Amino acid sequence: KTAMQIVEIMKVMEARHPVVMATRVSAEKSAEIQAALPQATYFEVARICAIQPSVPLAIRPGKLSILTAGTADLPVAEEAAVTAELCGFQVTRLWDVGVAGIHRLLSNRHVIDQSDVLIVAAGMEGALPSVVAGLADCPVVAVPTSVGYGASFNGLAPLLTMLNSCATGIG
């Protein structure tokens, strides 16, 4: 969509909803949107342009944690985190805790134990969601990313790993 198409859509939605988001927005397009809608906020890493209510939404119950295998997974994970926060959820972020440095994940075991839902983003071979699901007693949302080198095949390898996981509780 063009920036002006997004502006028109956001104007219509703003009249009906307390939160309006446009995702996968470039910084350049965001500048055009914000020129037309000064109340819009741009979340650069998440690539989200949003209109938020003047009064914050009530905090929703539950503990949501979002984990990434590596720093290259941050845009996808931040998109999930910002979306959840805009909807009223409190989010715990745990970045760069992939299986290549499993000690970083294990030293944050308390985050996994205290969470009601875990969203786990991983590229490369996509092993992190399976490891997390093996440690967790809550639902794990596995999110493949298209980052990585070698034979990640633009996200196909992590997707297949996540689909073939034998750990329970993965969606």
Query: What pLDDT does residue 169 have?
Result: 82
**pLDDT (average), residues 134-154:** 86
**Which whole number is the average pLDDT over 29-45?**
97
Residue 159 reports pLDDT greater than 90: no
- What's the rounded Cα separation, in Å, for the pair 14 and 119? 28
Q: How confident is the model at residue 168 (pLDDT cuts 50, 70, 90)?
A: confident
What is the pLDDT of the chain when averaged over all its residues? Answer: 92
Cα–chain center distance at 39: 23
What DSSP designation does 128 have? H
Mean pLDDT of 91-99: 94
* Residue type present at position 154: N
What is the set of domains in the chain, with CATH numbers?
Answer: 3-51 (no CATH), 64-164 (3.40.50.1970)
Instruction: Quote the pLDDT of residue 38.
Output: 96
Residue type, 129: P
What is the DSSP track for 57-84?
PPPPSS-EEEEESSGGGHHHHHHHHHHH
Q: How far apart are CA 104 and CA 150, in angstroms?
A: 24
Across 50-73, average pLDDT: 91
Q: In whole angstroms, what is the distance from residue 162 CA to residue 157 CA?
A: 9
pLDDT at residue 58 in the model: 87
Q: How large is the average pLDDT for residues 80-92? A: 95
List, for residues 99-137, the tens digit of each pLDDT value: 888 999 999 999 999 999 999 999 888 899 999 999 999
Residue 165 banded pLDDT, cuts 50, 70, 90:
confident
